[in-house]
């Protein structure tokens, strides 16, 4: 089972790193720079690794928030999970150079590689810097950007399907107030949990759509994800299918593009990720989400070994995945890594 937790986090980081160099390019420009197949391999930076972006950075802080909340629950009883994760997101904000007046303890904040800006989303920055915490019933803004869904995969590793949907929505609503901004995140949380449970991607997507339909204002998100499933069963070229689904800058489109790529190429991690980043839109986010989905499905064994070694913070991501799998430890080392405050 641990191989799937590892695959989910490493897979997301690989997709993020693969798409980062072409995030702001149109497909024509990508092909001009990288050839007719587009970008097909990780680009290694001066630090010797393929760089991750804010997508993986915030995913890491989601893991931290979940584990700190679990530590608090284990030692003190009830805990308000969104508030704990919000504190972790404020630590991320501090790594971006915005002093957020939050405890900067725990091991994650101390990772030097996280203290760098890689085109962080304006909505995440402004929402977290506001001093307020958004909630589903008290939205902080009307944003449905993909900054919620791109960081949500760990929720699906930590909770069962229904809880993962609920918490996926709640954690995204901290920064994104539009229903499609948080429902897409809840849907991904459910999907990851269902994949871990069933190892059957089409079945997991079907169950996710059923759960999504039970939520108010789901129609926009449901429509584009349903279209993604239909297109994955068609013979239409990948580039055309993705063009129909959108560009991925908003939550429901990023989720739909990623589900399309994962369903269409579910037995080939490499092909799925290459497909997921070569388009006109938010390449690193669609790459990250596709990597999360197929990493959870295929495990580390399904991920090219070289890609796993090349991606930035790979060792730390594996450690985070192992800790997420463990959930809690009474040791002093654990208490120092994930303080319950």
CA atoms within 13 A on the CB side of 71: 24
Torsion from C-alpha of 262, 265, 270, 273, nearest 10 degrees:
-40
Q: How far apart are CA 41 and CA 168, in angstroms?
A: 31
Q: What is the mean pLDDT of residues 308-323?
A: 98
Q: How far apart are CA 11 and CA 26, in angstroms?
A: 24
Domain with residue 180: its CATH number is: 1.10.4080.10
Q: How far apart are CA 168 and CA 219, in angstroms?
A: 18
Q: What is the pLDDT of residue 101?
A: 87
Q: What is the pLDDT of residue 100?
A: 82
User: In this model, does residue 78 exceed pLDDT 90?
Assistant: no
Quickly state the pLDDT bin for 99 (edges 50, 70, 90).
confident
Q: How far apart are CA 290 and CA 275, in angstroms?
A: 10
Q: What is the H or E stretch that residue 260 is in?
A: helix 251-264
Q: What is the pLDDT of residue 325?
A: 98
Q: How far apart are CA 339 and CA 305, in angstroms?
A: 33
With a CB cutoff of 8 Å and minimum separation 6, the contacts of 10 are: 291, 295, 300, 303, 308, 311, 314, 317, 318, 321
- Return the HEC string of 137-160: CCCCCCCCECCCHHHCHHHHHHCC
Share of the chain above pLDDT 70, in %: 100
Query: For the purposes of burial, counting CB atoms within 10 Å of the CB of 315, is it exposed (0-12), middle (13-18) or buried (19 or more)?
Result: exposed
Q: How far apart are CA 101 and CA 215, in angstroms?
A: 35
Neighbours of 128 (CB within 10 A): 26
Name the residue with tokens 């030097």.
112
Tens of pLDDT along 123-136?
999 999 999 999 99
Q: How far apart are CA 172 and CA 183, in angstroms?
A: 8
Q: What is the mean pLDDT of residues 226-247?
A: 97
Q: What is the pLDDT of residue 341?
A: 86
Expressed as residue numbers, the domain containing 95 is 2-337
Name the residue with tokens 């449970």.
197
Using the Cα atoms of residue 267, residue 244, residue 175 and residue 147 in order, give the sign of their dihedral. Answer: positive
Query: Taking the mean position of all CA atoms in its chain, how far away is CA 249?
Result: 14
Q: What is the pLDDT of residue 204?
A: 98
Share of the chain above pLDDT 90, in %: 97
Q: What is the pLDDT of residue 1?
A: 67
Q: How far apart are CA 119 and CA 198, in angstroms?
A: 36
User: In this model, does residue 73 exceed pLDDT 90?
Assistant: yes
Q: How far apart are CA 161 and CA 18, in angstroms?
A: 29
Q: Is 120 left (phi over 0), alpha (psi -120 to 50) or beta?
A: beta
Q: How far apart are CA 76 and CA 79, in angstroms?
A: 8
Quickly state the pLDDT bin for 192 (edges 50, 70, 90).
very high
Q: What is the mean pLDDT of the chain?
A: 97
Nearest to 253 by CA among 286, 296, 216: 286
Split into its structural domains, the chain has a count of 1
Tens of pLDDT along 106-125?
999 999 999 999 999 999 99
- Helix pair angle (251-264, 238-245), 10° resolution: 160
Tens of pLDDT along 241-288?
999 999 999 999 999 999 999 999 999 999 999 999 999 999 999 999
């Amino acid at each position: 089972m641990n191989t799937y937790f590892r695959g989910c986090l490493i897979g997301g980081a690989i997709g993020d790193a693969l798409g980062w160099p072409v995030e702001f390019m149109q497909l024509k420009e990508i092909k001009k720079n990288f050839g007719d197949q587009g970008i097909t391999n990780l680009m290694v930076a001066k630090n010797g690794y393929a760089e991750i972006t804010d997508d993986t950075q915030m995913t890491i802080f989601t893991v931290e928030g979940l584990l700190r909340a679990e530590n608090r629950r284990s030692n003190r009883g009830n805990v308000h999970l969104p508030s704990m994760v919000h504190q972790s997101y404020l630590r991320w904000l501090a790594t971006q150079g915005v002093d957020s007046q939050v405890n900067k303890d725990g091991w994650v904040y101390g990772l030097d590689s996280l203290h760098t800006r890689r085109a962080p989303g304006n909505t995440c920055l402004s929402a977290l810097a506001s001093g307020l915490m958004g909630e589903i019933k008290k939205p902080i803004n009307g944003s449905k950007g993909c900054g919620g869904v791109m960081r949500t995969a760990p929720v699906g590793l930590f909770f069962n399907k229904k809880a993962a949907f609920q918490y996926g929505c709640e954690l995204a609503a901290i920064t994104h107030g539009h229903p499609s901004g948080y429902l897409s995140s809840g849907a991904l949380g459910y999907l990851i949990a269902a994949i871990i449970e069933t190892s059957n991607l089409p079945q997991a997507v079907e169950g996710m759509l059923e759960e999504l339909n039970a939520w108010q204002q789901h129609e926009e998100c449901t429509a584009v994800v349903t279209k993604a499933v239909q297109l994955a069963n068609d013979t239409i070229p990948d580039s055309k299918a993705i063009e129909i689904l959108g560009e991925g800058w908003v939550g429901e489109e990023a989720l739909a593009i990623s589900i399309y790529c994962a369903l269409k190429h579910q037995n080939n991690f490499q092909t799925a990720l290459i497909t997921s980043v070569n388009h006109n839109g938010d390449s690193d986010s669609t790459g990250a989400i596709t990597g999360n989905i197929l990493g959870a499905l295929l495990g580390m064994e399904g991920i090219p070994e070289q890609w796993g070694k090349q991606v930035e913070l790979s060792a730390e991501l594996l450690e985070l995945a192992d800790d997420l799998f463990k959930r809690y430890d009474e040791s002093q080392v654990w208490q120092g890594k994930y303080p319950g405050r």
